[in-house]
Structure 1
């Protein structure tokens, strides 16, 4: 299937030709617009969005010097992020209280292209997008989601990759820090006539703060080239490999209380992931007011996860390979057996998306009409094997299943400007997907069973913006939809099963603006009523598997501001103070948990940062993060059980520091970062099985060298 995906992309590239029309050539300085944006990079782009949105710029990324993507996204109002592995190899992202596991309820894009394992039937993200390859991150909630899909529930996150430069550019960057952490990045870009290109590779490794070694590499190449006087295209190729310790068992209650910094209980648990992607984005100007942007893409992901057999309830007469903890205390030990389970997953996705934009006027109204669609095929192959000893990757086949889905989507949106200060944006999206499953082996017996499930979703929405860049109000409503998905229980012996789709209605109302040069602010109220939501099984003692939890309510407010103290004090040194606060109330509507909070949905979160940039090249940042308490089950159990699976997860306060110096004549930069300054110990999650601590204090030193050549004629 991998060969099919890349053959198709290559065929599309060879077959693409552009007609020579009389319109002017595309301005080469606009190359970064070629990727599909959900906000845009113009100064007033966010003001035109009829909903809450955040753009994390290259300047923000440079100031923060993040170790992983999770650090960056924690600063977005309404977003909660959990770093799942000690190397940041996986992250769980939640928006406004929706279920966060594997980021499955957030539409994740890279340059406008889906990056989930299977966007329709298994929208998990089993890899963390590597922060090294991005120059910007866009986050949009509300009705703006209907242009993308298929997930139109909480929000959309779009990662924008590095751009081919208009001159020769070389960059090298190295970090080293606690727990033998090391990261190295190298990038080279240049031009060749009308062609621009960039290539980048990154490598990171470390022992992990819980003795979970990881080794990760990723690479990216982009080529921007003209296709005629009125067209241009970008070809992108990428890969990522993660090789890391990956346990699924946390510490029981008494073990965590005695030593919360105990290393991983399961050192033989391991995960290997390989991902390859290719895409072609082509833009054809069909006139001064019309353009057609076409995306063709394909990617494959394969992941093998080795999980040793274990239990907390030993059987009499059974000889266990290892016993970790105190077996004299009830629930105080974990018993590891002689075997293991190997879960292998292979995924392939191939799609094409034409996006047509036309500007026109009818009377006093100006229209920007967006119409487009998507054709997509996705495949998955599951196998589960039982090994005779914990370190084996072989094992006897227990379960095998194949799945394929064919999806089609179409959308229409009209951004209507009745006046310069009044913008109304109605739109509609239609999704259809047919999924087929083929079970080849189950319960150690060969069999052949098939199943087919077609699903159609209609997603209407409307938004409005009134005001100017200085001050505006906005509001929107849209129908939230996510197609039914196939899930696998986290239990090592679990089997795949089909869940219902998510569906509900969401509303937003808010204001944003920059009334003064020294103040930018935004505040948004939101409410979502879901007829059904897929979330972690809320029952006490659940293993973290997904379930249809029924009707839920989500409402709250999120806000953010940036205060330019240097503009108030009228000094040349940049002094920026940023702050963001979110209140989110996510609860069950009916059933045994009616009125209770959803699991892993904190009500309050707040973060702030203070940045200093002196013209001499010295600068720094102080950052603070607060997340309020949350529950691990639908019963909202406060007392922790013996195994650490249920119970209140206490609030946390985390401080980070960063200092840097840039010597402009040489292009050299030096930085020092201290994450979790006070070395706070806290529980970040109790799923799937027990207490998992958050990252400990980590010190990092780094050096970066950048060189720009003269701009070529």
Structure 2
């Protein structure tokens, strides 16, 4: 199915399908600020209360007016003031206020503020998100379920769960993270946890904002948002354009559009329709520096300046709720998206071949592996991914004796396709070439889940649940290369997998102090390219499964303290890890066998200004994670997993005065990591193996906003220490990070 056909079919389906509900009571926008900056949880009660009468209007007249229609969205934490107390496991919410104060340049900056998460830089621009959780491999975020407004972000969630596209930071108003047994309500991947990016909400009155930034390396960004009402409907439109020369000459430009409309469909139903388009080009490359290159000049420009990466994504979703009764509501969520990805890479060798004339040689050719030999040809990897799904979910509340039940149950039908083509170009900057490989993937998937939150008392919740996932895969290869020669074939194969994931969690206490614990089975389906061989044979590959345990405590008393501490254990029967030279491939996946992850994570926030009754806000937050992820049995028994640091830490100090002046200093730390299963310490000449040293990051942000006019100014200094470090040895060589970037900007908003 071609893109226009799929998108057109989805839009027709979305507009014609009645949808249904998730929460019975009107929900305020997510925490922390005014409408499109996610208001604070405490605003929920305020929003639910009758509005005071306007001047010249009686109280009865003022209260007779119905509230504006609800904005429906998919949340993984829930929208009530005590949502975290009800989550059967650890959860983190980063609200709009915290995001506004940080003024992040890329999404990874936000996620570094979540205990247990590791964000690995790649090209330094934040265009490709690599996030891991509790010792899981961060490569392409393939072992963490990433959602945007409840919709999967991975290009093919079942068959190829990689993030070659990730939600632009300008869209994000809040971030939800769930790591415990509550994650079984979402899938298909539940081995690590769930990250949900919440985007702008349609406001109930006109508002707009305009922001411009400029900075080093010709960086420029212009972003605008406008929201308002039209009859009973509310809408918001957002457009962002950013570009720059990038670090190490990796230039980029990206354009992003987001639109939402929320409207009532009946006295008991509301819907939200969303559409978005993202278009990006960058000089991102797989090949990095060798050891000698990095030692001579870690700031060396990209050694593959002819490489080019294009990604374009179209997505749409419709979420509709219907309140059948006070105790029962039904929601239907329909989503679909198309991702086109074209990556041109200049061909190269690690060792010179006598039969090849090279376009250029970079590095020290007198040392084996210390130079890159670039050919005068290129390889173009052209990928097209399509995803379409529908998920109805029902929630019903009832009582049996003194026990209150809240049952959540649903199912999902999902289809995804991938058309993969590879072209051999005769010149280094071609956009075409001779077809070397061509294949088609298709996955039909079905999921069903049920969870019952049992309230034995107001302070004791027990939540058992189960999720079932089934996926049927097809791989059809019709052209392949053998011994350097492309030929037509007709290799067709199928495979399927099924998994049952039970879980149970418990919470004891109140929103001010509670203890929680739980256990659940984690699952990740096998990739199509791994489950079916190029010849069409079913490899009988098992899904990736784990048993996850956690126990913890949350504190929110007194008002100026917020804290959470969690201990966790994850036991894998077979974990899939990124291949290295030890496993025969630097960028492919490999069976890691049995692994064990265990550790503790903690976060505490002190409202110093509130505690000391200061005339300004002074907030201090500290986060720390200790995680040991090791192989169990086999040739690597006891060794740490690649790219699984023992220690991560971060801290922020934020100061804000009521006149509108504010400042923030943010620090983060990542301890050293191994790049291979052997835990090699010495760096080899290629730069692909060896210890990845620890590093620190410091960000500084200054801001001012004049309350009456809405005019403001900002100054950000990302990576203020300007200490370049080895960010990763993947995909193929040393990728450097830590470059300082100073930006200034103006913002004008009206609410």
Pairwise CA distance, 1:9: 2.6
Matches within 5 A, 1:652-663: 652-663=695-706
Alignment check: 8 A CA contact 2:116 2:133 kept: yes
Give 1:695 shift: 3.5
User: Secondary structure at 2:248's aligned position in 1?
Assistant: coil
SS at match of 1:592: coil
- Alpha-carbon deviations, 1:415-465, whole Å to 9, x = none? 110000000000001111100111111111101111111110101000000
Q: SS of the residue aligned with 1:102? A: helix
Q: Is the 8 A contact 1:488 1:495 kept in 2?
A: no
Q: Of the candidates 694, 717, 731, which is equivalent to residue 651 of structure 1? A: 694
Q: Kindly state the Cα deviation for residue 333 of structure 1 after the two structures are TM-superposed.
A: 2.0
Q: Which residue number in structure 1 is paired with residue 61 of structure 2? A: none
2:448 to 400, 407, 410: 410
Corresponding residue SS for 2:140: helix
Matching of residue 508 in structure 1 with residue 546 in structure 2: no
Task: Give the one of 611, 620, 626 matched to 2:663.
Answer: 620
1:494-531 CA-partner distances (Å, limit 9, x unpaired): 99997642111000000001122221100000001100
Matched with 2:602 is: 559
The reply on whether 1:638 has 2:639 as its aligned counterpart is no
Q: Specify the alignment match of 1:298 in structure 2.
A: 336
Output the CA distance in 2 between the equivalents of 1:73 and 1:171: 25
Q: What SS does structure 1 have at the residue aligned with 2:428?
A: coil
- Flag structure 1 segments of 5+ consecutive residues without an equivalent: 709-713
Tell me the residue number matched to 1:144. Answer: 182
Of 644, 647, 662, which residue of structure 2 is paired with 1:601? 644
Write the distance in 2 (CA, Å) between the matches of 1:496 and 1:136.
Answer: 44
Report the counterpart of residue 225 of structure 1 in structure 2.
263
State the distance in 2 between where 1:690 and 1:123 align.
23
Structural mapping, 1:188-337, within 5 Å:
188-316=226-354, 318-337=356-375
Measure the CA separation in 2 of the matches of 1:234 and 1:137: 19
Query: Equivalent residue for 1:77?
Result: 115
**CA shift for structure 1 position 619:** 0.5
| Alignment partners' CA distance in 2, 1:24 and 1:257 | 60
Aligned 8 A contact 1:9 1:298 in 2: yes
Report the 3-state secondary structure (helix = DSSP H, G, I; strand = E; otherwise coil) of the residue aligned with 2:622. Answer: strand
Partners of 2:328 and 2:708 in 1: CA distance: 44
**CA shift at 1:318, angstroms?**
3.2
Match of 1:629 among 658, 663, 672: 672
Q: What pairs up with 1:360-439 in 2 under 5 angstroms?
A: 360-439=398-477
CA distance in 1, matches of 2:440, 2:144: 25
CA distance in 2, matches of 1:242, 1:589: 42
Q: Return the match for 2:740 from 667, 674, 697.
A: 697
* 8 Å contact from structure 1 (residues 530, 551) kept in 2: yes
Q: In structure 2, what is the Cα distance between the partners aligned to 1:265 and 1:24?
A: 57
Give 3-state SS (helix, strand or coil) of 1:612's partner: strand
1:577 aligns with 2:577: no
Would the aligned equivalents of 2:71 and 2:271 in 1 still touch at CA under 8 Å?
A: no
1:519 aligns with 561
Assess, with a 3 A threshold, how the Cα gap between structure 1 residues 340 and 369 changes in structure 2: closer, same or farther: same
Q: Is the 8 A contact 1:538 1:635 kept in 2?
A: no
Are the structure 2 counterparts of residues 191 and 71 from structure 1 closer, same or farther at C-alpha, using a change threshold of 3 Å? same
**Corresponding position: 1:9 with 2:5:** no
Report the Cα distance in structure 2 between the residues aligned to 1:45 and 1:72, rounded to whole angstroms. Answer: 21
* Cα offset, 1:613, TM superposition: 0.8
Q: Matches of 1:273 and 1:248 in 2, distance apart?
A: 16
- The structural deviation recorded for 1:323 is 1.3
Query: Are the counterparts in 2 of residues 486 and 496 from structure 1 also a CA contact under 8 Å?
Result: no
Cα offset, 1:627, TM superposition? 0.6
Aligned position for 2:654: 611
Separation of aligned partners in 1, 2:637 and 2:19: 59
1:118 to 137, 149, 156: 156
**Distance in 1 (alpha carbons) for counterparts of 2:104 and 2:682:** 35
- Check 1:621–1:495 CA distance in 2 against 1; reply closer, same or farther (3 A cut): farther
Mapped to 2, the partners of 1:264 and 1:39 lie a distance apart of: 42
3-state SS of 2:556 partner: strand
- TM-score normalized by the length of structure 2: 0.91
Cα distance in 2, alignment partners of residues 463 and 69 from structure 1: 30
Deviation track 1:278-316 (CA, whole Å, cap 9, x = no partner) reads 111000010111111110111000101101111121123
Matching residue of 2:51 = none
Single out whichever of 232-241 and 6-15 deviates more from structure 2.
6-15
Structure 2 gaps, min length 5: 28-47, 49-65
Superposed CA deviations along residues 544-581 of structure 1, whole A, max 9, x for unmatched, are: 21111111000000000000111221112000000100
Q: How far, CA to CA, are the matches of 1:696 and 1:8 in structure 2? A: 45
Q: For this pair of structures, how many residues does the alignment match?
A: 702
Distance 1:518 1:351 in 2: 43
C-alpha distance in structure 2 between counterparts of 1:113 and 1:591, whole Å: 38
Secondary structure at the counterpart of residue 249 of structure 2: coil
Would you say 1:178 and 2:179 are equivalent positions? no
Does 1:468 pair with 2:504?
no
SS of 1:132's equivalent? helix
Report Cα offsets for 1:237-289 as digits up to 9, x if no partner: 00111101011111111111011110000001111001000111000010111
Structure 1 residues 174 and 592, CA gap change in structure 2 (3 angstroms): same
- Matched residues in 2 for 1:629 and 1:84: separation? 16
- In the aligned structure 1, how far is the partner of 2:736 from the partner of 2:578? 19
Q: Secondary structure at the match of 2:192?
A: coil
2:41 is matched with: none
1:456 lines up with 2:498 in the alignment: yes
Q: Does 1:486 align with 2:524?
A: no
Asked if structure 1 preserves the Cα contact closer than 8 Å seen for 2:220 and 2:244, the reply is yes
Whole-angstrom distance in 2 between the partners of 1:563 and 1:496 = 58
Deviation at 1:486, TM superposition (A): 2.9
Identify, as 1 or 2, the structure richer in strand: 1
What does the per-residue CA deviation read over 1:641-660, in whole Å, with 9 as the maximum and x for residues that have no partner?
01111101111011111111
Preserved contact between residue 25 and residue 230 of structure 1 (Cα < 8 Å): no
Please say if residues 409 and 451 of structure 2, whose CA atoms lie closer than 8 Å, have aligned partners that are also in contact.
Answer: yes
Mapped contact 1:512–1:523 kept (Cα < 8 A): yes
> Is 2:95 the partner of 1:57?
yes
Partner SS, residue 225 of structure 2: strand
Q: For residues 286 and 145 of structure 2, what CA distance do their matches in structure 1 show?
A: 25
Alpha-carbon shift at residue 18 of structure 1 (Å): 8.0
Q: Tell whether 2:718 aligns with 1:675.
A: yes
Could you tell me which residue of structure 2 aligns to residue 587 of structure 1? 630
Instruction: Please tell me whether the aligned partners of residues 609 and 623 of structure 1 are also in contact (alpha carbons under 8 angstroms).
Output: yes
Q: Partner residue of 1:711?
A: none
Shift of 1:87: 2.7
Q: 2 CA distance for matches of 1:523 and 1:601?
A: 20
Flag the 1:609–1:25 CA change in 2: closer, same or farther, 3 A.
closer
Find the aligned partners of 1:37 and 1:629 in 2 and give their Cα distance: 35
